[in-house]
Amino acid sequence: MFRKSTDGPISRHINRKISSKITTFLLKHSTPITPNQLTVLITIVGIIPSLLYMFRDPILAAIAGIIVQLNSILDGVDGEFARATGRTTPYGAFLDATLDRIVDVSILGSIGYALTLTMPQSTSMVYLVSLAAVTGSLLVSYVHARGEASLKMHPGKIGVACWASRDVRLFLVFLFSLLVPFVGWQSLLACLAIIAVTSYTYVFWKLYEVWRMGVGRNGQASSNPGQW
């Protein structure tokens, strides 16, 4: 009932199973909160990990990771609630997407900041990896949004399903944050590197898939895919 065709693998197999129960609870108790208010509250939860990472404490980093995954689960609730109550609006979608990007940048940026201070001998490398992770994350979201606007189709529905979606990125942050108390902050550096590589790979792969399949030419798939 609450699933979306563009859900990533973590949302589909983990997050929706929990978020749908939360949404059902809200519906059952006729909660007066609006979908947009939910979006703002979920965003506030998503900002908390950014503050915890900057303390550079391994235990707080693990706690931050748990909250990151909690935010990823809650991120589905506002949309589910809006669809179930018939209160979906273009502004609501715009607000949700924009605030999600703020949360993404704050989480990845704060991890990069913490890594720069805890690994001063590798400042340049940490900066580059952090920059690649942040920009890669934004580019994946941009490709999806621009695809829907320009191609009238979500790129995730073309060719290979999305493997670098927001739910996957946040789940990686969650897992690698749990490792910080045991193996150190290098685990989060590895996490940022994985996010950077998978995000950029996905972006360029989608550009290739869309071109190869001729999507968006004359408003439909081209009869001569692969031609410029």
Catalytically annotated residues: 100
* CA pair distance 26, 24, nearest whole angstrom: 5
Q: Are 189 and 129 in contact (CB under 8 A)?
A: yes
* CA pair distance 43, 75, nearest whole angstrom: 8
> What sign for the dihedral angle of Cα 33, 36, 38, 41?
negative
How crowded is the C-beta side of 181, counted as CA atoms within 13 Å?
A: 10
* CA pair distance 70, 206, nearest whole angstrom: 29
The DSSP result for 79-103, as a single string, is: HHHHHHTT---HHHHHHHHHHHHHH
DSSP-assigned letter for residue 194: H
* CA pair distance 85, 100, nearest whole angstrom: 22
